[in-house]
Structure 1
Amino acid sequence: MCTLEKRGSLFILTLIGNDEHRLNPTLIDSIRDALARVRSQSSSSSSALITTAVGKFFSNGYDLNWATNHSGSIDTTVDRLNLMSFNLRSLFRDLISLPMPTIAAVNGHASAGGFILALSHDYILMRKDRGYLYMSELDISLKIPAWFVKLLKNRIASPAVHREIVLKAAKFTATAALEKGIIESSHDGVEETVAAAVKLGDSLVKRGWDGNVYCEIRKVMMSDVLAASEYDETLEDAVKIASKI
């Protein structure tokens, strides 16, 4: 679940609870509902969104336990995998179409789909003292969807870093992520990270940009990722995936 706070022209969305913030339908629906409130409450004046979380995790990716923990057949697992993929792709499109700058204040580990959630924001700020960014699919023998890779390429300039993320399953601390150009800045702790996100958000709001124009420019920049996010080709092997997990 998540909370939403309006602080002046800033909206602060916080994933709550002491769990891993796994991306099951309940959590994704809660985030999407909060984003819908942001959209409805944002006025013609400039605004910005900050997304953060409490606990050790920003998000540890898809909730594979939820996908498999049921009394049904393997078809139920397949349906749940498809639903999580559809919901995350919808959440990504919600963030890209939000009429304001977006900032991820990463408080802890962001793995797989959680890393993708962070990358779905315009800026990533990260705490130094805990957490890493990690695309875990190679280590757990799962394919990475094409739209994940297109998002990585859109947000991160270096092909060498793409290789480290996808083909080496490297884990990046905040210091390493800053050196590699993955994040905007790193900070001593979670409070400092959120404070820096607020400062950045305020500076962006002061520019007085038209949110709808900002959004349309972002959508052009992200057009290849948006197109790719309409489909998850890895789910063609959903039965195999279900049997692995």
Structure 2
Amino acid sequence: MTTLFTIPISSTRGSILCSNPAKAKGLDVDTEKVYILTFSSPPDNRLTPTFISAFLLALDIIEHRYPRGVVVSTSAIAKFYSNGLDLQLAQETEGFMEKYLWVLFRRLITYPMPTISLLNGHAFAGGLMFAMYHDYRIMNPVKGFLCLNEIDFGVPLQTPMMSIFREKLTPATFRDLVLEARRVPGPEALARGVVDGLGGLEEVVGFIAERKLEGKARSGIYGVMKEEMYRGILGGLEDHEGNLGWRDRIEERKQVLEGESERRVEAWEREKAKL
């Protein structure tokens, strides 16, 4: 491995290390154009404002100071890729979604190079969303689960959180993740199309070579192609106020319908009492 630069994550005394992997024998890939972003933000790589800012800066540096190639993100913490948001901090940070999380998702979904998430361990909730906003995912075959567990602790998923799964997964897998909080290990994730392969860094480099990803950004339109591919997702990321307004209208309509439903039940109970 060759270290290129390091970005500190001040809040946890962690960091994001950018490096090139060792040359791969027998594979047609220029590893100097494969950028591994290895993050360590103890204890479990939460998506906080400082983590997101550091990650975005790393993407900026690669885009503007290095030849275009492939970006791989992974964790130096063996147990976790990312355990998602720090909910209390997210709630305490004004505009966290639109100023940080949506910015991160938008950057990944439009990044002008192929991106691969190397899932070394658990990716829960926002951590799984983070991985899904990459172009590809390779997962540890023997350790770690993918899970959307918001339904278990009562946190509704907003439009940009849902849309990436709706776009990339089958309806049945989307349902099982969202409504059952199913914990999916590597082999099942591959069978269901949540990930694109199993393994570690060696397999990632092989995946890059097999698909010739290293040269895909060379023409300069890779990001533009992704913008058109994911136009619906991008629209949701750009219209935070519109998403909130839609939710408000849905809640207002629900109150009306729930009132009507309650009145029907009350009428039924009155009729039943007469019998």
Match of 2:76 in 1: 54
Listed as ranges, the matches of 1:1-245 within 5 Å are 1-6=15-20, 7-43=31-67, 46-55=68-77, 56-67=79-90, 77=91, 79-80=92-93, 82-84=95-97, 86-156=99-169, 158-187=170-199, 193-203=200-210, 204-205=212-213, 207=215, 209-210=217-218, 212-230=220-238, 231=240, 233=243
Shift of 1:48: 0.5
Query: What is the CA–CA distance in structure 1 between the aligned matches of 2:216 and 2:156, rounded to whole Å?
Result: 42
Which structure 1 residue ranges, 4+ long, deviate > 3 Å from structure 2?
Answer: 205-209, 232-237
SS at match of 2:123: strand
Shift of 1:18: 4.4
Q: Which runs of 5+ in 2 are unaligned?
A: 1-14, 21-30, 249-275
Change (3 A) 1:211 1:164: farther
SS at match of 1:99: coil
CA deviations 1:93-113 (Å, max 9, x no partner) are: 111222111110001110111
Query: What is the CA–CA distance in structure 1 between the aligned matches of 2:85 and 2:216, rounded to whole Å?
Result: 36
Q: Is the 8 A contact 2:18 2:35 kept in 1?
A: yes
Query: What is the CA–CA distance in structure 2 between the aligned matches of 1:196 and 1:47, rounded to whole Å?
Result: 17
* Structure whose alpha-carbon radius of gyration is higher: 2
Structure 1 residue identity aligned to 2:172: A
Query: What is the CA–CA distance in structure 2 between the aligned matches of 1:207 and 1:182, rounded to whole Å?
Result: 24
Query: What is the CA–CA distance in structure 1 between the aligned matches of 2:19 and 2:208, rounded to whole Å?
Result: 14
Match of 1:70 in 2: none
Q: What TM-score, normalized by structure 1, do the two folds share?
A: 0.82
Q: Number of residues paired by the alignment?
A: 219
Structure 1 residue identity aligned to 2:191: E
Change (3 A) 1:57 1:81: farther
Query: What is the CA–CA distance in structure 2 between the aligned matches of 1:205 and 1:161, rounded to whole Å?
Result: 27
Q: What TM-score, normalized by structure 2, do the two folds share?
A: 0.73
Identity %: 28
CA deviations 1:151-202 (Å, max 9, x no partner) are: 001111x111110011111111011111111110122xxxxx1211122234
SS at match of 2:95: helix
Change (3 A) 1:207 1:175: same
Q: Which runs of 5+ in 1 are unaligned?
A: 68-76, 188-192, 238-245
